[in-house]
Amino acid sequence: MESSFGTTPIVTITGCVVVAIRDDLDDQGVVALQDQLVEEVARHKALGVVIDISSLEIVDTFAGRMLGAMAQMARMMNARTIVVGMRPAVAMTLVELGMTLEGVETALNADRAVNLILNS
């Protein structure tokens, strides 16, 4: 099952909602994406959410807050959140900004993230 908002696809695979974050999302796009994500988690009773940030070359506090908010929304719906595709520069920037992204796990790729979610 696949749906999308604009050009941000949200795909549900084996009880996991997978979303790929674009680097050109604006405030309005983020709000729409978060709404769509919550709807997909509820509709499919998803066990987890995989957020692919491989297209993000840089992050700022906006992107960090967006990731944290998406993870918190998923957690409130009893879904585990795993971020994949994080570049070293993105990790360093998040640390420098003091953003710990509490409750967010990481994995190297979507396959590993789905395996972590399904085997927990």
- Which one is predicted more confidently, 59 or 110? 110
pTM of this structure: 0.87
Read off the pLDDT of each residue in 22-36 and give the average, rounded to a whole number.
84
* pLDDT for 7: 56
Q: How far apart are CA 79 and CA 98, in angstroms?
A: 25
Domain tally for the chain? 1
| Domain limits for position 19 | 2-118
Which helix (DSSP H) or strand (DSSP E) does residue 27 occupy? helix 27-44
| Tokens coding 14 | 């084996």
Q: How far apart are CA 28 and CA 13, in angstroms?
A: 26
* pLDDT for 88: 92
Q: How far apart are CA 30 and CA 25, in angstroms?
A: 6
In tens, the pLDDT along 39-66 reads: 999 999 999 999 999 998 888 888 888 8
- Which one is predicted more confidently, 104 or 120? 104
For residue 15, pLDDT over 80 is answered with: yes
- What's 77's domain CATH number? 3.30.750.24
| Tokens coding 119 | 């085997």
**Residue 26 DSSP SS3:** coil
Average pLDDT of the chain to the nearest whole number: 87
Which amino acid is it at 31? Answer: V
Percent of all residues in the chain with a pLDDT value above 90, rounded to a whole number: 51
Read off φ and ψ for residue 82, nearest 5 degrees.
Answer: -130, 130
- Which one is predicted more confidently, 3 or 115? 115
